[in-house]
A and B are shown apart, each in its own frame.
Chain A
Amino acid sequence: MKPRNGIASLVLPPVLVLVGAVILMEIGARMLNEPFMLPRPGAVMRVMVDHRAELAASLWTTAEAALIGFFASAILGAAVAMILSASPLARRAFYPYTVFFQTVPIIAIAPLLVIWCGPGILAVALSAFIVSVFPVIANTLSGLLSTDPALEDLFRLYEASRWSRLWKLKLPSALPNIFTGLRIAAGLAVIGTVVSEFLVGLFGPGEGLGVRIVSAKKTGHTDEVFAAVLIASLLGLAMFAGINLAAKILLRRWHASERD
C-alpha cells in the first residue's frame, strides 16, 4: 500500500465514472423529454429528499429481510459445505440437490413460500436465502477441498485431530473462497429480497423497496421507481463493501487478493 496517493487514487476513478454517468443520464433525459420513460437525475434526487422518511423505512424493511437471508446463507451454507467436505459419500448423495438452489426460479416458487410462511418478512427472507445459499456452499466446498496436500501430510505426520485439521488448516485455507461466495451471496440476497417483495411483500407503512417499486410503477411515478431501485442497489453495494472490509481485515496479511 502506498499512503502518498492512497485515498485520492482509490476514490477518484469510481467517482468520476459516477459523475459521467449522471451527466449522460441528464443529457439523455433532457433530449428525450419524457419523464415517464426516463426521469432526470435531479428529479430522482428530489424524490429521495422529499420522501426520505418513507424511503428510509422501506430500506430498513428490505435490508432486514436481505440481511436475515444473507446470514442464514452464510452460516447454513458454510455448515453444509463442511459436512459435504468431510465425506465423499455425503457429497455424492447431497451435492446434486444443492444445485437445486442455484437453478430454482425464485419467482415461480414465491407462491409456495407464501403458502408456507404467509406473506411477510419470513417468506421474503426465505427467498433471499434460497437464491444466495448456493454460491456459499459451492465456493466454501471448493476451498475446503483444495487444501495444500503437503500441509495435509504435515498435519497427518503430527497426528492432528479431525477438529484441528478443519479448524487450523482447512477453514483458514478456504477463507478466500468463502469470501468469494459471500460477495456473490450479498448481491443475490438483495435481488432475491426485492423480487420476492414484488410478489409477497406487505403494502402499507414500512413497505419494502420491492413493494414501493411496484406501487410507484402503477401510479406512473417513474422517478420514484428509479429512487427505490437506486436505494436497493446501494443496499447491495453496502453489504458487498461490508464483506470486503471483513475480508481485508482477515486476509490482508497473507492473501494476495487483499494486498493493495
Chain B
Amino acid sequence: MSDFLRSLRGDTPRLCSLSFIATSMRVQRLHKVFDSDVIAIEDLTIEIRSGEFLAVLGPSGCGKSTLLRIIAGLDQPTSGSVEKDEGKIAYVFQDAHLLPWRTVLRNVALPLELMGASRAERLDAAADALRQVGLGDAMSRYPAQLSGGMKMRVSLARALVTQPKLLLLDEPFAALDEITRQKLDEQLRELWLRHRMTVVFVTHSTGEATFLADRAVVLSRRPARIVEDLGIELPANREATLRSDPKFAAITRRIYSALERGGA
C-alpha cells in the first residue's frame, strides 16, 4: 500500500486501539433554525462511539438529513457543536449522483483525484473499492448503462475509496426495490464488519435499521429531539435469515412504537 493511502487512513492499525472504546463524535446541544422561524433541530445531543453503526430514524422532514449535513460540515448549525475525530468523512446521498460522463472506475476514483492522489494510486484504489462492492467487472461501463442498484453500489464504492473513518448515509437505498435493498443492506453490513468505520445511517425503514445497526436513535417530528435511543443486540454477522428471527421482529416493533410516539 502506498504512503498516500496510508496517510489517508491515519494511523496504521495497532492492537491497542481495540482496547478502549473511544468517542468518535459528540453532537452537542445542536440547534438548527431555517429562515429564522422553522426550527429543524432543537437542543440535540448524541454521542457516537468510534466504530459504531448508528441508525437514525424519524418522520419525514424531521431534520435527519439536516443533522447528517451538519455532521459532514456541509451545513452550519445555528448553535451547538459537532466534535469529531480527525479522519476522512464520506457521504452517500439518497440517489447515486454519479458523473454521467465518467466511467464507473473514474467515478469511484474521483474523491482521490480531488485530493491529489496520483493516477495509478487512485485507479488502483478505485478498482479495489469496486471489487469490494461486487462490481469488479463493470469498471469500464458508464452510469447510464447500470441498474439503480448497481449505481448505488458505485456510489458506495466512491464513498469507501478514501478509507473513511466516518461514513454518513442519507437514506441511500430508499429508491430501490425491496430485494435489491436487502441485498445492499447485507453488503453494507459486511463492508462495515471488514472496515469498522463509524457509520451514521439515516433511514425511515425500521427493518433496515434493525438489520444494519448496533444502535438506533429515533427522532421526533420537527423540531427533532430524541424519543428513543436503543442498543440493537443481535449477532455481529447478520445473515438474510435474521429477518425472520423473533428477536429481530421484537426490536423492529420497539423502533416502530418509538416512531409513533415521536409523531410519525
Contacts and interface: CB of A to CB of B under 8 A. Distances in A.
Contacts of A251: 101
Contact of B142 (A156, A168, A253): A253
A50 interface: no
Given A168-B114, A254-B100, 12 more contacts: A150-B95, A151-B97, A153-B69, A153-B74, A153-B91, A157-B90, A157-B91, A164-B114, A168-B110, A169-B99, A172-B101, A251-B101
B74 A156 contact: yes
Contact count band on B: 20 to 34
Contacts of B72: 157
Contacts of A255: 100
A154 B91 contact: yes
A238 interface: no
A158 B109 CA distance: 12
Interface string A129-159: 0000000000000000000101101111111
B46 interface: no
Contact of A254 (B74, B113, B142): B142
Interface string B91-109: 1010101011100000000
Q: Which 10 A-B pairs have the closest CB atoms?
A: A254-B100, A158-B114, A150-B97, A160-B114, A253-B142, A150-B93, A254-B101, A158-B111, A172-B101, A153-B74
Interface in B107-141: 110-111, 113-115
Contacts of B91: 153-154, 157
Contacts of A256: 144
B25 interface: no
B59 interface: no
B97 A158 contact: no
A151 B115 contact: no
19 contacts: A148-B97, A150-B93, A150-B95, A151-B97, A153-B74, A154-B110, A155-B114, A157-B73, A157-B89, A158-B111, A158-B162, A159-B114, A160-B114, A168-B114, A169-B99, A172-B101, A175-B101, A253-B142, A254-B143
A101 to B, nearest CB: 30
Nearest to A160: B114
Contacts of A168: 99, 110, 113-114
A159 B115 contact: yes
Nearest to B96: A150
Contacts of B111: 154, 158
Contact of A158 (B99, B115, B142, B144): B115
Interface in A201-260: 251, 253-256, 259
Interface in A87-121: none
Nearest to A175: B101
Contacts of A253: 101, 142, 144
Contacts of B90: 157
Nearest to A256: B144
Interface in A147-199: 148, 150-151, 153-160, 164, 168-169, 172, 175
B144 A254 contact: yes
A154 B97 contact: yes
A30 B3 CA distance: 83
A149 B111 CA distance: 16
B230 to A, nearest CB: 30
A177 to B, nearest CB: 14
B4 to A, nearest CB: 14
Nearest to A169: B99
Contacts of B113: 168
| A148, A151, A158, most chain B CB atoms within 10 A | A158
Contacts of A154: 91, 93, 97, 110-111
Contact of A172 (B93, B99, B114): B99
Contacts of B73: 157
B116 to A, nearest CB: 10
Interface in B68-89: 69, 72-74, 89
A101 B141 CA distance: 42
A166 to B, nearest CB: 13
B74 A151 contact: no
| A150, A159, A175, A259, most chain B CB atoms within 10 A | A150
B94 to A, nearest CB: 8
Contacts of A156: 74
Contacts of A160: 114
Interface string A63-107: 000000000000000000000000000000000000000000000
Contacts of B144: 253-254, 256, 259
Contacts of A155: 114
B203 to A, nearest CB: 18
A254 B110 CA distance: 17
